[in-house]
Chain A
Amino acid sequence: MTLKRAFILLVLGLFVYLGLYTWNERTGCLDTLAENTGLEVIGIILSPVDWLATGVSDTWNRYVDLVNVREERDVLAERLENATAVINTLQEDKRELKRLRELMSFSPPPNWTPIGARVIGVRVGPQAALNSIILDKGFSNGALPGTPAVTKQGVVGQVLRSSPHFSTVLLVNDPSCRIAVVSQDTRFPGIISGQGAGKPLTVYYVPPNAQVKIGEYLVTSGLDGLFPKGVPVAWVESAQPSDTSPFQAVTAWPLAPLNELEEVLLLQPAAGRKENPFNRFSDELAFPPPETPEIFKQPVLPLNAVPSPDRSISSKPPMDIQPSLPRTVN
């Protein structure tokens, strides 16, 4: 092959590539094709491997590795006692809230249905440059792009891409993931974003006069139109005035154990979404307004802290305070 011919081929190839790239940017056809074939095939391959690994791990944990079980049982029994006491206290608050809502003619928020999904892979392949996990639920199971993914502890991320039976979730600790949050106690708003695995999250646009408490929980505000309101996301680690910005520099750690995820819940409005899964843009626009899901309407249970700890002076997170959730519904 002469040099001239090689050059012509290279230029032609470049034009073909740019043509394909631009066409895909406009239509998303190649993305859809890759999702429906590549992601589906890899999901089919990884599912039995994950099932086998989980089976072996469960067998070991349940029947072989029984060390510390007695000690753990004692701790759990103590926590259960504390939790029962707190539930009794909060039941009264719940009834009061219901009465007040009825009094103010608030229509109760529609339920969000949790769909259980198993994690079958973490950042598979060289193109998985963003922090992500692969789930065994796809758009035929309701895992459309934009669907919130949570655990009992808090937000995990949101569905980025989906094939018929598998989907990829962008984790909350990725810099490309942004979620509108509000602090649980002092109610300051912000946008939370990741800085990468093993690093704290950053909360942007926190007003300089906001009284940020260390250890305070950040929950979704629902203003981003994707997440329901009130889902725990992170706890505040530090807050200080920024030298370069009019806003405060706030860092927080995610509540969900992002490195140890095995199952997650995908939150769907109870009415269901009937959009065309091939059209992600109309899909996002058609997402109904955020509401508090039923599973997060339960009272927050401080499991070993009665009364609740003073989080304004604590430098460590009250990790035992978690929202209660029913068991995963599939």
Chain B
Amino acid sequence: MQLTQNIAWWVAFFLLGILAQSVLSGIDFLLIGVIIALQERRPVQLTWVILVAILLQEGVGTLPFGSALLFYTFAVIVFYGGRALFEAENFIFIFLVSSLMGLLHFVFTFAIADLHNLQINLTRLGVESVIQALMIPPLWGLAHFLRGKEKQDENRA
């Protein structure tokens, strides 16, 4: 994929991700981009995608700095750990990663809030974690399809 096309794809992805987050509160849509960047195994791309995602999530959030950094670091660990057992583009693998990330979203948010003596709505956080786990696989499938389609168009050209 050409550099300009790649940048345009990621800009469009982040724009849509942020808009989706403003509509559905508490859900991390940028995680899909991190998973795609992990699958493509391009270290430079992965680094800036994670960096941008961390800055956006931490900047717009209400918790002290730390939980997004921890969340995306563990996304990398979970991905590389799971890749030893499954094919990286296998749907079951994505489902397992999303389930684990849903759980980690609950744990890290609760941990950071508790560390700073902030009271949060645990029921709402639990519901959001479940939605997070359920939404990642289909949305990843869509993003993966669009990303693959763009690659195919480029190869054809």
Contact = CB atoms under 8 A, between A and B. Distances in A.
A160 B62 contact: yes
Contact of B120 (A34, A129, A160): A129
A10 B73 CA distance: 10
B55 A130 contact: no
Given A10-B77, A45-B19, A124-B21, A129 B69 contact: no
Interface centre among B25, B62, B77, B119, by most chain A C-beta atoms within 10 angstroms, is B62
A176 B57 contact: no
A122 B60 CA distance: 10
B120 to A, nearest CB: 5
A37 interface: yes
Interface string B60-95: 111111111111010001000000000000000000
A125 B73 contact: no
A13 interface: yes
Contacts, number: 129
Interface stretch (A16-24, A71-79, A271-279, A287-295): A16-24
Contact of B25 (A34, A45, A122): A122
Contacts of A25: 64
Given A31-B64, A38-B60, A160-B62, A124 B18 contact: yes
**Which of B66, B105, B113 is the most central at the interface, judged by chain A CB atoms within 10 Å of its CB?**
B66
B57 A127 contact: yes
Contact of A124 (B22, B71, B119, B128): B22
Interface in A96-145: 121-130, 132, 134
B15 interface: yes
A306 to B, nearest CB: 41
Contacts of B58: 30-31, 34, 38, 127
Contacts of B61: 125-129
A175 interface: yes
B1 interface: no
A128 B55 contact: no
Contact of A40 (B21, B59, B66): B59
A106 B109 CA distance: 49
Given A49-B22, A129-B26, A132-B62, 5 more contacts: A17-B66, A30-B65, A45-B19, A126-B57, A196-B124
Interface of A: 10, 13, 17, 20-21, 24-25, 30-31, 33-42, 45-46, 49, 121-130, 132, 134, 160-161, 163, 168, 170, 175-176, 196-197
8 contacts: A17-B69, A17-B73, A40-B59, A127-B67, A127-B109, A128-B61, A129-B63, A130-B118
Interface of B: 15, 18-19, 21-22, 25-28, 54-71, 73, 77, 105, 109, 113, 118-121, 124-125, 128, 132
